[in-house]
């Protein structure tokens, strides 16, 4: 897309409806519950009578949620879809359909829009989700992507945030803090490039951290693994704002306290090393970084023998009585108050600290 010899097509050449037709021409319907997708005034879905329909929306704004200086458009499209799929996984469900609205400025070409849609369609292909419609409109304030995901879950398998009880075990999938480290690397290289445009960044040794930031994955496989092992979480949330913030969401909804063990928090070695390079305590990165999109959930203690056999899941603590508050047990066995200092779209604490 950066090739100066490539002739780009102005959006005005196609118009709104021509653009929609071009972007959606190759989309195929895969889900049995999709009766009608793109091409009418509304999409039509018909879930099974034993299923619950799930809906979630995310809004991504240029300059707030992403920086186009270092975010490839195809990755951005992929991520805009996946973060929605993750919300459905956090309900113990399966994403089935997606609708996308995009606000675009005059600086974007048809080819740029195709890059975004290629990413969205790739995510739908990977997760077997139908792209069934959306909207495009002109924008005077940069690129905006609004995605709405529809999902389904069997009535007996639905999991909310408010079902945890004291003594439930707190579990998390994967590892934490890597996405935040990836963001810090990108921000560091951006500043270096702005200071000296002739200096080309070398990001080859940070593939995992950058992938976690630019191309995250929804942990739909964890939902499948839990169901296979007949484990029904008592509460669940996906980690978008940081472990500390999101476990406190579970506590508030469930009217409980919690104890998290610092030594049990899973941190990838590359994220650990990079945190040290940035003079950040690795645990702080894991607690407050956000955008990991791992699943954080609680289970009854009777499921401990099952959960400990699942390699991708770590037991990091337990729920307590609400009067005991939210606590972190540090590596030197000190109990400290757990504080949420992660991403807040309105306060933007972490984001401002790295700009």
Q: Are residues 122 and 180 in the same domain?
A: no
Reported as type and span, the H/E element at residue 272 is helix 269-277
Q: What integer best gives the mean pLDDT of the chain?
A: 90
Per the listing, tokens 């890597």 go with: 178
Q: Is the pLDDT of residue 134 over 80?
A: yes
In whole angstroms, give the CA distance from residue 76 to residue 213: 10
pTM above 0.75, yes or no: yes
In a domain, 160, yes or no: no
Q: Are residues 117 and 242 in the same domain?
A: no
Q: Are residues 347 and 198 in the same domain?
A: yes
Domain finish residue from 87, 120, 154 = 154
Q: How many structural domains are present in the chain?
A: 2
In a domain, 111, yes or no: yes
Q: Are residues 266 and 129 in the same domain?
A: no
Reported as type and span, the H/E element at residue 53 is strand 51-61
In whole angstroms, give the CA distance from residue 182 to residue 162: 32
Q: Are residues 87 and 188 in the same domain?
A: no
Q: Are residues 197 and 137 in the same domain?
A: no
In a domain, 4, yes or no: no
The predicted-structure confidence for 149-161, as pLDDT tens digits, reads as follows 999 999 899 999 9
Q: Which of 38-47, 123-132, 344-353 has the highest mean pLDDT?
A: 123-132
Q: Are residues 214 and 144 in the same domain?
A: no
List the domain range (segments joined by +) for residue 185: 169-354
Q: Are residues 143 and 196 in the same domain?
A: no
Q: Are residues 76 and 222 in the same domain?
A: no
Q: Is the pLDDT of residue 351 over 50?
A: no
- Confidence label for 334 from pLDDT (cuts 50, 70 and 90): very high
Q: Is the pLDDT of residue 343 over 90?
A: no
In a domain, 228, yes or no: yes
Q: Are residues 179 and 285 in the same domain?
A: yes
Angle in degrees, CA 58, 284, 165, rounded to 5: 70
Q: Are residues 148 and 213 in the same domain?
A: no
In a domain, 193, yes or no: yes
CATH code of the domain containing 131: 3.30.1330.10
Kindly state the tokens that stand for 82. 């996946």
In a domain, 3, yes or no: no
In whole angstroms, give the CA distance from residue 300 to residue 202: 46
CATH code of the domain containing 233: 3.90.650.10
Q: Is the pLDDT of residue 325 over 70?
A: yes
- Confidence label for 350 from pLDDT (cuts 50, 70 and 90): very low
Q: Over pLDDT 70: what percentage of the chain?
A: 93
The predicted-structure confidence for 282-297, as pLDDT tens digits, reads as follows 999 999 999 999 999 9
The predicted-structure confidence for 24-63, as pLDDT tens digits, reads as follows 888 888 888 888 877 766 677 777 778 888 889 898 999 8
Q: Are residues 181 and 94 in the same domain?
A: no
| Best CA proximity match to 177, nearest among 292, 339, 38, 9 | 292
In whole angstroms, give the CA distance from residue 15 to residue 140: 17
């Amino acid at each position: 897309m950066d090739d100066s010899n490539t002739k780009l097509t102005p959006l005005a050449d196609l118009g709104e409806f021509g653009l929609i037709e071009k972007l959606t021409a190759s989309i195929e319907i895969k889900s049995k519950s999709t009766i009608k997708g793109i091409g009418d005034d509304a999409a039509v879905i018909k879930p099974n009578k034993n299923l619950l329909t799930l809906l979630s929306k995310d809004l991504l704004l240029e300059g707030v949620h992403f920086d186009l200086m270092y975010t490839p458009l195809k990755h951005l499209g992929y991520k805009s879809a996946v973060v929605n799929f993750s919300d459905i996984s956090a309900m113990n469900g399966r994403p089935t359909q997606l609708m996308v609205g995009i606000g675009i400025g005059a600086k974007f070409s048809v080819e740029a829009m195709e890059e975004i849609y290629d990413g969205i369609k790739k995510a739908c292909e990977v997760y077997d989700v139908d792209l069934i419609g959306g909207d495009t409109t002109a924008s005077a304030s940069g690129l905006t992507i609004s995605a709405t995901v529809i999902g389904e879950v069997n009535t007996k398998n639905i999991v909310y945030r408010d079902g945890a009880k004291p003594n439930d075990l707190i579990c998390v999938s994967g590892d934490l803090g890597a996405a935040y480290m990836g963001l810090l690397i990108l921000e560091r290289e951006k500043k270096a490039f702005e200071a000296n445009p002739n200096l080309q960044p070398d990001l080859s040794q940070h593939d995992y951290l950058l992938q976690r930031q630019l191309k995250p994955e929804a942990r739909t496989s964890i939902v499948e693994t839990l169901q296979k092992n007949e484990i029904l979480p008592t509460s669940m949330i996906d980690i978008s704002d940081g472990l500390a913030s999101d476990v406190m969401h579970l506590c508030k909804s469930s009217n409980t306290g919690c104890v998290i063990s610092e030594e049990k928090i899973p941190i990838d070695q590359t994220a650990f090393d990079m945190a040290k390079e940035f003079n950040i305590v690795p645990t702080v990165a894991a607690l407050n970084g956000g955008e990991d999109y791992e699943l954080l959930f609680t289970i009854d203690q009777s499921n401990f023998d099952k959960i400990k056999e699942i390699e991708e899941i770590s037991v990091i603590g337990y729920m307590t009585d609400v009067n005991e508050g939210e606590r972190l047990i540090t590596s030197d066995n000190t109990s400290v108050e757990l504080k949420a200092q992660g991403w807040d779209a309105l306060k933007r604490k972490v984001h401002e600290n790295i700009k």
